[in-house]
Structure 1
Amino acid sequence: MWVNEVLMARYCGDRNSELLIANARRFKETCLVQGKSLFTNEVVWTGENCNELIINFVNKPDAGNGDFFEKLETQLVTTSANAKVLAAEMLWLMFLCPSNTGPESKRVSIERVFAWSGLQMTPALKDEYLSDHSLTGIGSAGTAYNTGRWRELVYLMRFTAAFLKLNKQEKIDLLSDHLRFSEWLEQLPENESRQLRHMLLFLFFPDFNERIFGNTDRCSILVSLTDITKSQYNKMKCRERDAALLTLRQKFEQKFDTAEIDYYAEPLSTIWKNAGTDAVSHVKESKEDYIVSKQSAISLNQILYGPPGTGKTYHTINEALAIVDPESLQGNLSRAELKSKFDLFVLSGQIVFTTFHQSFSYEDFVEGLRAESENGQLNYKVESGIFKQICERANEGVTETDDPFDQALTIFTDALASHDGLMTLKTITGKEFEVEYSGGSTLLVYPKSNKLLKQGYSASLTLVRQLYRTGSKKGIYNPSYVDGVLRYLKSDCGLKNYLSQSPHSPVKPFVLIIDEINRGNISNIFGELITLIERSKRAGGIESLTVKLPYSKEPFSVPSNLHIIGTMNTADKSLAQVDIALRRRFEFVEMMPKHELLEGIVIDGIDVAKMLKTINQRIELLYDREHTIGHSFFLPLKDDKSIGRLARIFELEILPLLEEYFFEDWERVGQVLGDHFKKANPELKFIKEKFTGTDTEPSVSELMGKDWAQDGIRPYKRNIAVFTNSEAYIGIYDSPQK
């Protein structure tokens, strides 16, 4: 069997895979074939124990408060001791590959779950399988592997339940054939989207599978280095992608005449990452795809994306002014003056700013129904959303301040105010009615022929505008009164007859800024209009399209003078996870931290630019570049170069962000801040252990007694004292090993 084969380590660049692969082979034989435990002498890998986990974890999801392990403990409280051991060993298997979680954090988590069983680990087995070397990992897992850890555990439980139903020879045969095993996995729910699927194949068949666990890199490599397009990649099964990666690696092995080939090691890492930088702009989906633009050229649809604090929302002001008033950026105007100009354009309606969020809907963005009570009856009226309103304004090509209808409306509302909010008008047949206006878009009408009417009829100003533009009373509620108001605007308020904009006349550009665009459900918010925002599909385009809106039944198209600027925080969602329909229709402008903007800020010997650069380099190694920290967090230090201000930034902004990034993996947070270099000066660490027996706090033994085992519990806390100690900050970038 495979356990007796000569063990060959798979080349993994600067990481040694020998022990990892050896442990994986022992796991296959000990656990999956023999059913024995890794940590005890019990038989725990059985269908009966796994069924307990299925019943209590898979079939009873906990959507309440609490972290993953708090919920897991509650869910497994009624399971047997061996089932709890099985859960701990499943976590061990899940933790083998990821290198972006530290060995100490992994070990604490495994021991915490194992402790629920009340059993004791065999010391020799604990030393063998829970050592730092065993838990170091072999490659970075994607963000979703940690945030969706419960999904990966569900997948593993389902895998185990299905595998343990096989007889011994079937198990051995399956674990000896990487193609059969890969095909067999396809029966499992969510197999195509689980990162653990890739990890199992690498662990069990390292010669045929790559240590690439996140879908982003797998896609980037194949799209950048082969003729596979993004669209084709999305249609491939995982095993087809595996085969393509294997074929590609074998070609590189021949090209470089070595078997020491790995996609994360030189020379391949430079090849595909550099190719990926250029290739992203021409990744094909059918005949087009999204573009990542590093140019400042103005486009109709663009998204500024990057980590938090890189000035995305700040730069939307400049981007918008470059569209509506480019001359303002040619002079030497201050930031305050530019912001003042921006505010004037917002006031006129030429620039509209909105923010997407989880509850933002199509009805808010395009149009929806609003319930109104009139004369005791409930009526539903169509109300335009933000996008439809600015499209209508852009179609006219004039702002609110230049719009003759709005100018006449201002005169009308002033006249109403001078008559205590009530005026007498006439219909086209000469019937008198009183009009009352109390704000908003609705007028209340009281026909003088109906003295008993208490509530009044409604006449919408939106419908008055519609009648002015179209001349048609079709679909207009209370048309005689709406027409009466329009006639008054023309006769007494200076409103001239409507003249549509000539297609050849210059029109003003309009800008819609959507902050946090990736926080909304794009497909729900844009609906059928996502297609219409493409340049060629807009009004006047070579393939212009018009749709009928679902509520108003009006024809609708997107004008070519409307620019859409979005911002996207990659810490919330990476570019690869963005809706493909959105990516195809926008240019993406990357905005990364600019440490050079902090050059010259030195506080008590602390080089702030160098400090932030070092922090971000470590984050990129331990997590990814999408979760780095932006320079704008530290810009207040330009005006207030005090250690107190820096301490406030670190305590209230930087540390909470790092804790969120690393899911309170305090070991990793400390590594980002250079705490691992401060063993000789532990008082300079930003993160320190609790209950160490100092003058200010008791030790663990004092609290729990000497016989209490500290399995799975390792409390940490912030070291508040170092926030005002300059040496602690200098130690972030000026370590002894540099």
Structure 2
Amino acid sequence: MLTDTQPQPLIERIRDIGHPEAVRRFFSLLKELIDIINLPNGDARLVFTVRKGQKAITANINFFLALQLVKPNRGEVEYWLTIKKGCQSQLSAIREIDFVPLTEKSDYVSVVIGHSDAHLLQNPAIRKCWEDCLPELAETPKRGPHSARHNADIYLAAEDEAFLSDLLRLVDDPTLGDSPSNDYSAAEPETAYDVVAERPDQPHNLILVGPPGTGKTFALQPYLRDRNGASDRASLITFHPAYSYEEFVEGIRPEVVGGQVSYRVRKGIFHRACVSAVQLAGYATLADCLNDTPENRVRKLQKAPVHYLLIDEVNRANVASVFGDLITLLETDKRLGADNELWLTLPYSQERFGVPSNLYVVGTMNTTDRSIALLDIALRRRFAFRDMRPDPSVLPVIDGIDLPQLLRTVNERIEYLLDRDHQIGHAYLTAVANHTDLCGAFRDQVIPLLQEYFFNDWAKIQLILGDNPAWGKDPEHRLIWTKKKYTASASNALFGEMPDAMDEVVTYEINPHLQRGNYDQVPAQAFIRIYQK
């Protein structure tokens, strides 16, 4: 809350900038800057200023501009984030940003981002360049004190959400200074959307399930592209066995700066996705969303566009460990803006956290992955599962070979000998345009996959491909050949005696013409006779 002495210079500068949403975004960034450099208010290495005659709020570390919010005389509000000059090439492909050197010979440049492109403040490449630069600025031998006077109110506004909210209320109505209210929602103007945002026809939490090659990952592509071919409303991650809560939500990470090891809290992709979702509703941070009234929060989140978090191979990680205590917050009725909304306090940062109702989580799960049997039952209850099966109808007939019938026959045999979760997806054959492509697909993908499925039980692989003698294929048409049958006399000749408990042994090999790439020596009948006796 404000004291009797009003922070008038900061209030005037916020009024000059004239953009409350941009101000909130700036102070959210400033809070991160303070957490990263871990310096107290009043430290000689810091100077946060609101200079007269400039429509700007500036944060300097030592003698370097580190972060700035500025309203040019013409144009929109801009965010300036300082990075190392060597990092500039990594961001050159982002056309919406500009670079301004701090000085002619400086090793640092400022990334300039207009408010219309404010989503780029969450761009992982930009954030990493900026966050990696800040500790270096704090450790430079060129230290303060500064000639400019430090404004302690700026530091306080970054650390205290209630203080910032009161500042914004006073900017709108100076008469409120004597009787501040606890309703901070008035400081944040409602984002102007013409209509309630259209929601996708799918559950909030969805997992696409199926065998390999059924297009699960391909089905994520539309979420990554908007009508113009690109989108910033989706985040993509692939789980792996070492993935943890610390990478997904937040965790303490070591950093080496100037030969010294320090530790700070790093936000994970799930946390960043939730922030991106509330920013689409007009909030700068999750804290702003939680500080708002329930009525405003419901209205804004209902009108906000959707943000997607896409998780490929969701069952390859220990899901219960990765989601941790957030598993309850994923439920539709427990999300921010829902009837029974909940939030919790994160263990490392001690910040309040909730999952906004305009965030949709879409994952993929390969049914052949044996870790599916260990999938947490809590996750199964909170996610909807959509089965994706092989679709032979998308395949063509090439060189007289009926690929749809071939795939149907192979999968029917796999389902009989193994189960339906180990079928072969149509994606293995969608790129096949001729006989050569088909031979390559079988040699490099289909047959190795069958080896994995049946643990090199070649007799079963022969059954799958119709290469068993009873099916009636000519020997030269078979893809899996019987290399040799060892009778008792053949075993004696090989070992000099009969091995103990020795059953009849048969060895196999892949058709040598197929194996060596002599595809013109592999007739079309080798594939036609898979499904046609």
Q: Taking structure 1 as the reference length, what is the TM-score of the superposition?
A: 0.40
Summarize the Cα distance change of 1:374–1:683 in structure 2 as closer, same or farther, 3 Å threshold: closer
Relative to its length, the structure with more strand (as a share) is 2
Alignment correspondent of 1:601: 397
- Say if 1:313 and 1:508 are closer, same or farther in 2 by CA, change over 3 A: same
C-alpha contact 2:336 2:356 (8 A) present in aligned 1 = yes
Q: Say whether residues 1:393 and 2:276 are aligned partners.
A: yes
- Deviation of 1:644 (Å): 1.5
Maintained 8 Å contact 2:298/2:338: no
1:196 aligns with: none
Are the structure 2 counterparts of residues 653 and 501 from structure 1 closer, same or farther at C-alpha, using a change threshold of 3 Å? farther
Q: 1:683 aligns with which of 473, 476, 482?
A: 476
1:728 maps to what in 2? 526
Distance 2:336 2:456 in 1: 51
Q: Give runs of aligned pairs for residues 227-266 of structure 1, distance below 5 A.
A: none
Do the aligned residues in 2 keep the contact of 1:692 with 1:700 (CA within 8 Å)?
Answer: no
Structure 1 residue aligned with 2:407: 612
- 1:634 corresponds, among 397, 422, 429, to 429
For residue 315 of structure 1, what is the aligned residue in structure 2? 219
SS of the counterpart of 1:297? coil
- Correspondent of 2:239 among 350, 353, 356: 356
- Give 1:300's match in structure 2, choosing from 200, 204, 207: 204
Q: Matched residues in 1 for 2:281 and 2:347: separation?
A: 27
Q: Secondary structure at the match of 2:214?
A: coil
Residues 386 and 501 of structure 1, relative CA distance in 2, 3 Å threshold: farther
Given the superposition, is the C-alpha separation of residues 395 and 652 from structure 1 closer, same or farther in structure 2, using an over 3 Å criterion? same
**Deviation of 1:370 (Å):** 1.2
The structure 1 residue matched to 2:510, chosen from 706, 714, 718, is 718
Label 1:684 to 1:397 Cα distance change in 2 as closer, same or farther (>3 A). Answer: same
Query: Which amino acid in structure 1 is aligned with residue 444 of structure 2?
Result: L
Cα distance between partner residues in 2 of 1:541 and 1:649: 49
Partner in structure 2 of residue 532 of structure 1: 329
Q: Identity over the aligned pairs, expressed in percent?
A: 39
Greater shift in the superposed pair: 367-376 or 297-306:
367-376
Any idea what SS the aligned residue of 2:217 has? helix
Q: Please state whether the residue corresponding to 1:567 is helix, strand or coil.
A: strand
The count of corresponding residues between Structure 1 and Structure 2 is 318
Does 2:456 align with 1:664? yes
Task: Provide structure 2 residue ranges, at least 5 long, that are not aligned to the other structure.
Answer: 1-199
Output the CA distance in 1 between the equivalents of 2:367 and 2:266. Answer: 33
Q: Distance in 2 between matches of 1:645 and 1:541?
A: 52
Aligned counterpart, 1:19: none
Offset of 1:377 from its aligned partner? 4.2
- Aligned equivalents of 1:466, 1:629: Cα separation in 2: 44
Aligned CA distance change for structure 1 residues 383 and 680 (closer, same or farther; 3 Å): closer
Q: Which amino acid aligns with 1:613?
A: R
- CA-to-aligned-CA distance 1:651-687 (integer Å, 9 cap, x gap): 1100111111111111111111112234562333322
- The 2-side partners of 1:668 and 1:687 are apart by 11
Alignment of 1:217-228 (within 5 A): none
Return the alpha-carbon distance in structure 1 between the equivalents of residues 203 and 383 of structure 2.
9
Deviations 1:85-137 (A, max 9, x none): xxxxxxxxxxxxxxxxxxxxxxxxxxxxxxxxxxxxxxxxxxxxxxxxxxxxx
Superposed, 1:402-421 pairs within 5 Å as none
Give 2:249's aligned residue: 366
Distance in 1, matches of 2:473 and 2:345, equals 71
Give the secondary structure class of the aligned counterpart of 1:656. helix
Q: Which amino acid aligns with 1:672?
A: I
For 2:286 and 2:402, locate their aligned partners in 1 and report how far apart those are by CA, in whole Å: 61
Cα shift at 1:320: 5.9
Write the distance in 1 (CA, Å) between the matches of 2:246 and 2:499: 59
SS in 2 for 1:675: coil
Is structure 2 residue 391 aligned with structure 1 residue 585? no
CA RMSD of the aligned region, Å? 3.1
Give the alignment's TM-score, normalised by structure 2: 0.55
Q: Tell me how far 1:595 sits from its aligned partner.
A: 0.8
The verdict on how the C-alpha distance between 1:565 and 1:579 changes in structure 2, with shifts beyond 3 A counting, is same
**Per the alignment, in what secondary structure is the counterpart of residue 429 of structure 2?**
helix
Structure-2 separation of matches of 1:379 and 1:319: 38
Q: In the alignment, which residue of structure 2 is the partner of 1:554?
A: 351
**Structure 2: distance between partners of 1:679 and 1:397:** 64
Shift of 1:544: 1.4
Structure 2 distance, partners of 1:509, 1:732, is: 47
CA contact (8 A) 1:593 1:630 kept: yes
Return the offset for 1:714: 3.9
1:59-83 CA-partner distances (Å, limit 9, x unpaired): xxxxxxxxxxxxxxxxxxxxxxxxx
- Could you give the per-residue CA deviations for residues 605-651 of structure 1, whole angstroms, max 9, x where no partner exists? 211111111000001111111110011110111xx22x211111001
AA aligned opposite 2:206: Q
Aligned to 2:420: 625
Distance in 1 between the 2:203 and 2:335 partners? Answer: 14
In structure 2, the CA distance between the partners of 1:526 and 1:577, relative to structure 1 (3 Å rule), is: same
Q: Is the 8 A contact 2:485 2:507 kept in 1?
A: no
Distance in 2 separating the partners of 1:540 and 1:302:
20
Contact 1:369 1:551 in 2 (8 A): yes
1:591 CA displacement: 0.6
For the residue of structure 1 that corresponds to 2:363, the secondary structure is strand
1:423-572 alignment runs, 5 A limit: 503-505=298-300, 506-572=303-369
Task: Name the CA distance, whole Å, in 1 between partners of 2:330 and 2:349.
Answer: 20
Q: Matched residue of 2:360: which SS?
A: strand
Corresponding letter in the other structure for 1:728: A
Tell me, what secondary structure is at the counterpart of 1:363?
helix
Residue 730 of structure 1: how far off its partner (Å):
1.2
For residues 311 and 286 of structure 2, the distance between their equivalents in structure 1, rounded to whole angstroms, comes to 27
- Is the 8 Å Cα contact of residues 484 and 506 (structure 2) preserved in structure 1? no
Structure with the higher fraction of residues in helix conformation: 1
Question: How far apart in 2 are the matches of 1:671 and 1:608?
Answer: 18
Is the 1:620–1:628 Cα contact (8 Å) retained in structure 2?
A: yes
1:302 CA drift (Å): 0.6
CA distance in 2, matches of 1:715, 1:680: 19
Matched to 2:415, the amino acid is E
Q: Displacement, 1:317?
A: 2.0
Preserved CA contact (<8 Å) 1:358 1:521 = yes
| AA partner of residue 339 (structure 2) | I
Structure-1 separation of matches of 2:220 and 2:527: 33
Contact 2:319–2:375 (CA<8 Å) still a contact in 1? no
CA contact (8 A) 1:538 1:560 kept: yes
Separation in 2, partners of 1:466, 1:634:
46
From 688, 704, 719, the counterpart of 2:495 = 704
Distance 1:631 1:680, change over 3 A: closer
Work out whether 1:380 is the aligned partner of 2:275. Answer: no
Structure 1 residues 397, 319: closer, same or farther in 2, change over 3 A? closer
Cα distance change of structure 1 residues 681 and 374 upon mapping to structure 2, 3 Å threshold: closer
| Structure 1 residues 686 and 710: alpha-carbon distance in aligned structure 2, compared to 1, 3 A threshold | farther
SS at match of 1:302: strand
